[in-house]
Homo-oligomer: A and B are copies of this chain.
Amino acid sequence: MFPALLLLAAMAQPNSAVDAARAWHGAHQQQILDEFFELLRIPNAGPERLRDNANFIRTMLEKRGVSARLLEMDGVPPAVYGELRTPGARRTIAFYAHYDGQAVRPAEWKTPPFEPTIRDGRVWARSASDDKTPIIALVAALDAMRAANLRPAANIKFFFEGEEEGGSPHLEQVANNYKDLLAADLWLICDGPVHQTGRQQIAFGARGIQTARITVYGPNHDLHSGHYGNWAPNPAMMLAHLLASMKDDNGRVLVNGFYDGIEPLSASEKAAVAGAPDTEALLKKEFALGRTEGGGRPLVELLNLPSLNVRGLASGSTGAAARTVVPSTATAEIDMRLVKGIEPDAAFARLVAHIRRQGFYVVDREPDAATLTTHPKVALVVAPEPGYRASRTSMDLEISQQVIRAVEAARGTVVKLPTMGGSAPLWIFTDLLKTPTITIPIANYDNNQHAANENLRLENLWQGIETMAALLAM
């Protein structure tokens, strides 16, 4: 099903679609923002309102003649699926975005997270950048093309999920259940920020992730540090030794085998990394850093390696609540970003083996007294979330080159990255659906993604509409 109008329209080329998008957003800014704000006003940081978001987006698509439906699974926020068929199309291009957002702590926001506000040339709201931007940009691009009497060259599919911020726990199952619907020649993942220089970037892969929670044990309850300190082993100090054993002072991970099996970059991928703009000075200033890890290698190069990050530490109490005790336990939360060639299970197993090599008896559930008293050092190591592998699409594929050319029609020379630094389960598209998958971000890099005061530069919205139009016209 597609509207009769499209039958009569001319087949768009990226250049003509970009022109149409520019003319359209220039003339209809308020109309675009009104619809965007309506979408942003529907809270998406908890399960109860996610369906409202999905229904609203389905209607947004249907208004543009897109045949849309909700893909349902028990207990899962519905995904919004849409199709726009093009007679005689020789291929299908599918667009991915997500409509759910990270949790909010309203007290930390300058303006309420679900009352979008324009300030300093930006829209401030939860998901203004991550990740409702592509949804509004795509429908505005469709409006622009229709107004210019242009139609896509390919069949177009839309897939907007509602569980991305929770790690897309059911995406694999959705892909299995709806394999036919999700079949495509290309997946375009519309998420994430553009380059820190403001230049458009295209990422041909995403890192995987594996988390781990490590708890080490001292006495079975907090002990007075005067009566028992430096006799009863201190778990915070044990944890410090354990963590320190995992990385050298320069940030190199010392876990045995941590870098083993990495699938090497191709010549074009290496060239792309080498050709990426130098942002080191800009970012060091922006984040007030006196040094970086990685032995002087730039960020863009380090993103192609697996990483081990301590995202949280807790033991005893700090600040005004501090008490002079030997704490009973100490916990570290770890996240490991994975690259092609390293499976999440393997990364977890290597970490556990490393902890064992440091003299710990490793358990996977709360240890009992017998376990604690019969081993000098005990660590509980669990994976709080399921991990997933990295994915990468070759930038040498003809379709990859076409994507580059389409985006460059809108935005000029792009920054090409073999992988983005963030994790996304794009292996579901590349490995399970066996489809080339390329990530096209829209948001500004300083968008406070996942944090308070998330925002989208308006300029990025207008540019995003042009980029989406170019891709719809591929």
Q: A-side interface residues toward B, CB under 8 Å? A: 102-103, 192-193, 207, 209, 211, 213, 217-234, 236-237, 239-247, 249, 251, 253, 283-285, 287-294, 299, 302-303, 305, 307-319, 321-327, 330-333, 335, 337, 359, 369, 372-378, 384, 420-423, 445, 448-451
Contacts and interface: CB of A to CB of B under 8 A. Distances in A.
A192 B420 CA distance: 58
Given A207-B226, A241-B249, A220 B288 contact: yes
Contacts of A193: 227
Given A231-B299, A335-B324, A421-B229, A312 B236 contact: yes
B309 A421 contact: no
A185 B116 CA distance: 73
A311 B323 contact: yes
A124 to B, nearest CB: 15
A264 to B, nearest CB: 19
A25 B223 CA distance: 32
Q: How many copies does the complex hold?
A: 2
Contact of A233 (B251, B312, B378): B251
Contacts of A331: 318-319
A287 B237 contact: no
B230 A294 contact: yes
Given A213-B318, A240-B313, A314-B319, 10 more contacts: A219-B289, A224-B450, A230-B308, A233-B293, A236-B243, A311-B326, A313-B330, A314-B314, A319-B331, A322-B333
A225 B102 CA distance: 14
Contact of A291 (B285, B312, B377, B423): B377
Contacts of A228: 283, 287, 299, 421
A318 B312 CA distance: 5
A314 B324 contact: no
Nearest to A300: B231
Given A229-B309, A309-B229, A314-B314, A285 B373 contact: yes
A423 B249 CA distance: 36
A311 B226 CA distance: 11
Contacts of A213: 318, 322
A334 B305 CA distance: 35
B288 A219 contact: yes
B251 A307 contact: no
Contacts of A311: 225, 236, 316-317, 322-327
Nearest to A223: B287
A433 B436 CA distance: 82
22 contacts: A103-B323, A211-B322, A222-B450, A224-B450, A226-B420, A227-B422, A228-B421, A229-B337, A230-B307, A233-B251, A237-B247, A240-B240, A240-B243, A284-B373, A288-B369, A290-B378, A311-B324, A311-B325, A312-B316, A313-B315, A313-B330, A324-B335
A219 B448 CA distance: 13
A317 to B, nearest CB: 5
Contacts of A319: 312, 314, 331, 333
A316 B207 CA distance: 22
A369 B225 CA distance: 36
Contacts of A420: 226-227
Given A311-B225, A323-B311, A231 B330 contact: no
B318 A314 contact: yes
A299 B219 CA distance: 14
A14 to B, nearest CB: 28
A86 to B, nearest CB: 35
B302 A230 contact: yes
Given A311-B225, A316-B313, A233 B291 contact: yes
A245 to B, nearest CB: 8
A195 B451 CA distance: 51
Contacts of A218: 289
Contact of A226 (B220, B226, B253, B423): B423
Across chains A and B, which 7 residue pairs bring their CB atoms closest together, nearest first? A226-B422, A240-B243, A230-B307, A312-B316, A236-B310, A244-B244, A291-B376
A248 B459 CA distance: 54
A373 B284 CA distance: 7
